[in-house]
Amino acid sequence: MYQRFDLLAPVHKGLRHALGGLVFQAGSLNVNNDGELRRFAEEFADIVDILESHSRDEDAHVHHLYERFAPETAAKLEAEHETLEAELGELQGLLDKALRAPEERGPTWYILQRKLTRFTTAYFSHLEREEGEAAEALWANLDDAQLKEVSVRIRSSIPPATMMIFLRYMLPALTFNERYDMLSGMKRFAPPEAYQAVRELAERRLRPEDWAELAAALDTVEQGA
């Protein structure tokens, strides 16, 4: 809902960016190049990390709200979580097989690409359910201050290393205003070293012109903490 606090949009943008890029890489990767395959496996592991973190955070901080305000939607989301978790395990198994059995990489990778595309399609549909009927239930029963409290609890529960993986994919996927709100808030309230780490990540991940615009805006913000 426009002009309401959106608990889900920024992280969902990052997850879409991550999975979309992974599908692209899987489709263009030279499976006979061990270096390319290892880099793909490393990125796959990072994306599994944030997918699992997102699922844990929902279970710990949001699912009970869905059960309270939209029990049918909660049941659908829980069933989808179980299916997606199983499919992610299948993908990991195929990737492991490609790494350990070079002679079977061709057919293994063909299956992995197709399953990854189907998984991503299903995952995007799952995100849409969260952003649609689930979010509507939250907006109908909680005000923005309450939703922001949930957001703070979620962010506080994410390990720093996992948060940096989230941000690696989120920052390029956000609008200028979303990036500015995030980093200006960090500059005011986060420890200086945490803000500096995210600022450096943004510089690496954004297009030069996007970074220049953001940096100029952030330089007008007084640092706190």
Q: What would the pLDDT profile of 74-96 be if each residue is shown by its tens digit?
A: 999 999 999 999 999 999 999 99
Final residue belonging to a domain, choices 158, 186, 215? 158
Of residues 31, 129, 33, 50, the one with CA closest to residue 88: 50
Pair 187, 110 in one domain: no
Q: What does the alpha-carbon distance between residue 106 and residue 212 come to, in Å, rounded to a whole number?
A: 43
How far is C-alpha 97 from the geometric centre of its chain's CA atoms?
A: 26
Residue 168 inside a domain? The answer is no
Counting Cα atoms < 13 Å in the Cβ hemisphere of 191 gives 4
Is the domain of 179 the same as that of 154?
no
- pLDDT averaged over every residue in the chain: 96
Residue 202's domain comprises: 175-225
What is the reported pTM?
Answer: 0.94
Q: How many domains does the chain have?
A: 2
Which one, of 10, 142, 119, lies nearest residue 70 by Cα?
Answer: 142
The residue out of 100, 127, 158 marking a domain boundary is: 158
Location of structure tokens 């907006």: 139
What is the C-alpha separation between 103 and 173, in angstroms, rounded?
38
179 and 152 housed in the same domain: no
Q: What region does 191 belong to: left with phi over 0, alpha with psi -120 to 50, or beta? A: beta
pLDDT in tens, 149-162: 999 999 999 999 99
Domain membership of residue 1 (yes or no) is no
Identify each DSSP E strand in the chain by its residue range.
Answer: none
